[in-house]
Structures are given as structure tokens and as C-alpha cells.
Amino acid sequence: MRTQAVVGGVGMTRFGKQMDRGLKDLGAEAVNSAVADAGLTLDDMQAAFVGNCAAGTVTGQESIRGQVILDPLGVGRIPIVNVENACASGSTAFYLACAMVTAGIHDVVLALGVEKLSHPDKTVSFAAFAGAVDVEEVQALLAGLAAQAEDSGANGGGGAGGAGKGRSMFMDIYAGAARSHMERWGTTAEQFAAVASKNSYHGSLNPRAQFREALSVDDVMQSTMIVPPLTRPMCSPIGDGAAAVVVVSEAKARALGISRPVHVATTVLHSGWNHAVGEGGTVELCSKEAYEEAGIGPDDLDVVELHDASAPAEVMMYESLGLCAPGEGGKLAESGETRLGGRLPVNTSGGLLRKGHPVGATGTAQIVELTEQLRGSSGDRQVEGARIGLAQNGGGKKGNDAAAMCVTVLRS
């Protein structure tokens, strides 16, 4: 018998560079908070899905990451499944936890996303991102990025040679997409800066955010150029953190007496493919399916957490999610409509740009933020009357698309 999944409890750490903390410590804080929030104990967990992307590269821990992280908490015996799916690892863990509940296999399932990215040697951290593309095609990808940058006259800010060394190669990928968007639609760097400024304001209100300083558009534009047109505040930072969600069945939610349940209207997961130019990709596929399954459209959304690994990514996601027409993302960014108090607040957490992006934890952190918004417990970041929230989280690159993409709709 199918049942709807309910978010029973959430918890997360502060995000940021935490050199003195490991995966076990970070995971324990998030898990204990989520379990307590659900009014349960660790003994109540019937299964666990643990999302992590980079431990094998950064810490050397492979194969049994979830078992290692949960063991100090006394969690064993139950099925513990390790989930690695690029930057979508956390949201994929949540997707699988919800699947177990909706299928009637379990009543209480833990979804944990946890990541340790900071390392004394930054090249180790950047190497973790290099593995999120086809390693047999890395040199061809880097050559293509360099050629595109050369053609557009965008070799400043460290040049294409810095990709994967002085910065994540994904910033070069986003920069290339940004330049193409600017050329096709007339989008401006100032519009990208408006995203970073807006998210910095939201992050300034979030005590768990990696960066708490509010920046103006001018501040963003005048910051260090990483790779044109991306200045430093337009790029998500490297950091550490964990976020956990306890997913329960409707029957369990009633038994727990949850007064303001947050229902999982749908969660959709797809993989990328080499689609034709002009054809929608994973975001369009996932969001169309999510809207249909939830019985809503973009106009019904009250709050959105999306994957702003760069400021241009947020602009492009506006369009892919149907929040505006194609080519209108830049105008939406500068309109103020996606700011707290606007028509549709986006990334009230501060997004990846300011809350931070410990990649394996990002997807579950989005669920934490939306759950708190739909419960009405977000404090200074609260979206008045929020009832429907959407999370979009993707990662990796395969061909001309993301390798993995997840879109989730929550409803209070």
C-alpha cells in the first residue's frame, strides 16, 4: 500500500570551513538534531541513506562511509545505504528514503547528507570536483573551456589554466554558460551580481550560513575576478557540514502527534543525457514531472531553494523551472521579486553562494530550509504564509547536461 511521505524531523550543522571537525562529528550533530526534532530516538530508525560525495578523495574513507559515520551513534543492524551522486548526493538520499516510506517498506527512515571538503591543500578539495565529470574526457573538456574563453576574450582572472588548480573546474563551466547566456539574451554581469547580493542578504539572516556579510551589487562587481564574468561572491565556496531529515509515514506522523506536518508532494530524480541544442534537459524534465505529480505549477510556489553553485546558475534555473520565460532570468534577478518580501523568495537560506556548498549535504540542507519555512519557524527569514516549497539540486556533468538532477515539492 502506498502512503505519502512526511518530513518528521530536520537538523543541520553550521556550514563553513571547520578544519577541526570530521565526518563523524558533523554527521552526529545533524542526525541527533533531526531525530530529536521528530520526537524519536535513534533506536526508532528502520533504515538510513547517507549521501556523501568527496570523502574518498578528501579523507580517504571509501565504501562504508555511512556505516562509519553512524556507528559512534550506536546505529547498526538496520540497512545503511551509501549514496554518491555528485552534488545531488543528499537529495538522492532523501529521494530514496521517501521511496522506502511511500512503498510501505519502512515507517521511519533517516536521510543524511554530510561532507568534509576543506583540506590544508586546496588542490585536494578541487580534485574532488574533477571526479564529477567523465575522467576520460577531462582534457578535452578543459581544452574546450579554454577555447571558449579565448573566443569570448575571457582569459582574465587567472585564465583557463587555473581550472581545477586554483579553483573548481565547475566555475569555468558555469562561466562559459554565463557568457553564452549573455551573448544570446543580453544578460548582464550586474544581473548576476544581483543574485549574489540578494543571497548575501538572505545569508546574513541565517545563523548556520558560511558567510553572514550582506553585499551590495557594487560590492559583488568590485570583488576579485575568479573567471570572467564570475567574481568571488558569484561562486559557491568550499566548506564542511551536514544536514539530516527523518522521513516518516503518515501513520507514524499521526502517532507522533505532529501538529504541522510537511508532506512530500513528490520528489523526482533523473540523469542527464546529450540532448539536442534547444531541447530541455534534466531540470526541465524533473520540474515538469514534479509539477504534474504535485498538481501545481510555478505560480503556486511560495518559496524555492535552488542549486546556485554560481550566480548565473540561479538565473538560468529561474528559466528552466518555469519561474520566468526563457531569457528573462536576468530581469527577474534584478527585479527584487526573488528577494524576501518579493513575489517568490528564492534561496532564503542564502543558497549555496552564502549558506555554503558542502556538496553531499546540500540537497538535505535544502529540505531543512523548506521544512522550516513551511512550519513557519524560519525567524527573520520567514516567508509569510508559505505553504508550498520547491527544491532543485543537481550535480556532475555528462555531455551538455548535469549528470544527476532532483526536484522535490513539499507542502504544509
Is 87 assigned a catalytic role?
A: yes
- Residue closest to 245 by CA, chosen among 111, 102, 72: 111
- Residue closest to 110 by CA, chosen among 219, 268, 242, 200: 242
Is 235 assigned a catalytic role?
A: no
- Residue closest to 265 by CA, chosen among 392, 97, 412: 412
Per the DSSP assignment, residues forming a β-bridge with 269 are: 406
Q: What is the 3-state secondary structure (H, E, C) of the chain?
A: CCCCEEEEEEEECCCECCCCCCHHHHHHHHHHHHHHHCCCCHHHCCEEEEECCCHHHHCCCCCCHHHHHHHHHCCCCCCEEEECECECHHHHHHHHHHHHHHCCCCCEEEEEEEEECCCCCHHHHHHHHHCCCCHHHHHHHHHHHHHHHHHHCCCCCCCHHHECCCECHHHHHHHHHHHHHHHHHCCCHHHHHHHHHHHHHHHHCCCCCCCCCCCCHHHHHCCCEEECCEEHHHECCCCEEEEEEEEEEHHHHHHHCCCCCEEEEEEEEEECCCCCCCCCCHHHHHHHHHHHHHCCCHHHCCEEECCCCEHHHHHHHHHHCCCCCCCCHHHHHHHCCCCCCCCCCECCCCHHHHCCCCHHHHHHHHHHHHHHHHHCCCHHHCCCCCCEEEEEEEEEEECCEEEEEEEEEEEC
How far is Cα 182 from Cα 408, in angstroms, rounded to an integer?
A: 29
Q: Which residues contact 359 (CB under 8 A, 6 or more apart)?
A: 53, 54, 86, 87, 89, 115, 117, 128, 395
Catalytic site residue from 181, 202, 270, 357 = 357
Catalytic site residue from 87, 235, 286, 324 = 87
Q: Which residues contact 65 (CB under 8 A, 6 or more apart)?
A: 23, 50, 52, 55, 82
Question: Looking at the annotation, which residues are catalytic?
Answer: 87, 357
